[in-house]
Homo-oligomer: A and B are copies of this chain.
Amino acid sequence: MDIPMSASIHKCAWEIRGDRSLGALERLAVVARYEAGEAVYRCNDPIEHWYRVVRGAARKSALSGDGRRHIVDFMLPGDFFGFGLSRPRQFCVEAIFPGTLIARYARMAVERLADSDPVIARNIRELAFEAIVRLQGRMVILSRSKALERVSSFLLEMADRSRISPTHAVFLPMSRYDIADYLGLAVETVSRALTELRQRHVIAFRSVRQVRICDRAVLEGLAEKLAEQGSQPSRQRATALAGQGETNQLSN
């Protein structure tokens, strides 16, 4: 099943970013093919590889104690995933598209490369920071309460991530159930929201999984883009002592 990465694929992938300096990393890539539903890695697996989607799509998910599934992220072509240093996997990743191609990079080899090449190390840092920014943006979306806002945000996110001509339709490789578990909604609510957007002529369906955005302005209005301004002192309050411990975390 594993095939050494073809020169054409790896070249194409990196040329998008115009980033030639990571070619050395691409030489570590081994591409494997997955069918829909097949696991790339599972929860509690040790971290031995880092990955990148070459073609198709995958989902990263977790299961709650009550059996509910939560999709943390969708990975589309070009996306890296599975990064980490020591602790075992907290999520599992499965392909959601037949014939999905995923490149993997031996973690140790990548880290050696990063240790010896500051440029690669910096690029990896940049990827990590970008991921953090994107996750924080998604967090804001998830805290917004209304279903229409979440679904609108999701459609815009998918449209932005899949580089297509604005007039063309956006392809959604995932099922409605996946979307629901991604947005923290019930399937029926997702379906109702999509129907409402369609009836308002904000979107149109070429097929069940192909959406065309007819009125992006309205969609963005529903998604409630963040305000541009700086701060709002407003609510404040505090009581007792500070500095009762040290954690070590990072974010943008």
Contact = CB atoms under 8 A, between A and B. Distances in A.
Contacts of A109: none
Given A118-B121, A207-B239, A92 B231 contact: yes
Contacts of A225: 64-65
16 contacts: A36-B238, A43-B228, A55-B243, A63-B227, A64-B144, A66-B224, A70-B140, A77-B242, A79-B251, A90-B133, A90-B252, A91-B252, A98-B238, A131-B132, A142-B184, A145-B184
Interface string A54-95: 111100101111111110110111111111110101111010
Contacts of A72: 136, 139-140, 251
Contacts of A228: 43-44
A116 interface: yes
A39 interface: yes
By DSSP majority rule, is chain A's interface helix, strand, loop, or mixed?
Answer: loop
B133 A85 contact: no
Interface string A115-143: 11010011011111111111111111011
**Number of this chain's copies in the complex:** 2
| Most central of A16, A99, A230, A248 by chain B CB within 10 Å | A248
B242 A100 contact: yes
Name the 9 nearest CB pairs between A and B, nearest first.
A143-B184, A78-B246, A163-B245, A128-B128, A42-B230, A55-B243, A80-B250, A115-B118, A142-B142
